[in-house]
Amino acid sequence: MDLRAEETLLSAKLSAAERRQIIAQLESTSFDVPDAWETELRARRISLGARDGLLIRGTHLLCGGTGNCETWIFRQAQGKWLNMFEDEAPVVSGFGFTQHTRGGIRDFLVSVHNSATSETRMLFKFDGKTYRRTECKGVPADCVENTRPRENGRA
């Protein structure tokens, strides 16, 4: 599943100041810079467990040929949206959240298409400030279809 075309930064009911704050953080953790961030990005409000969150995905320029797109998670703290990735955001095809939490934030599980026959799964755990990748494993194609992380619904 992916975010729908109508799930924009505007539809996420973010103020102009919040959008500027988020885009400034995206610019420092993105592998490229689109002509217009607001048309490139899709956004959905989510629950991270004990905190409200925001899932943001690239759509065209911030995606690769195998369906992997740059994906960010933001958490809301002290009236600000904070990027959950310290460095460049992961480029992934599938994503979801586990039930396990650290500091009230659920673990983030992603899959990455490597080719038509393999994918990599990564687990990110909250360290009190950001998500840190803690596990990474390859999965052969014959094990992929029924075990992909599924995107969570709306919060």
Q: How much is the mean pLDDT over the chain?
A: 87
Of 63-67, 84-88, 103-107, minimum mean pLDDT range: 63-67
pTM of the predicted structure, to 2 decimals: 0.85
DSSP β-bridge partners for residue 83? 74
**pLDDT at site 36:** 87
Sequence-separated (6 or more) residues with CB below 8 Å from residue 80:
21
Taking alpha carbons only, the member of 104, 95, 143 closest to residue 123 is 95
With a cut of 50, say whether residue 155 has pLDDT above it: no
pLDDT in tens, 60-72: 889 887 789 999 9
Question: Residue 150: pLDDT band by 50, 70, 90 thresholds?
Answer: low
Residue 154 has pLDDT above 50, yes or no: no
Percent of the chain whose predicted confidence (pLDDT) is above 70: 89
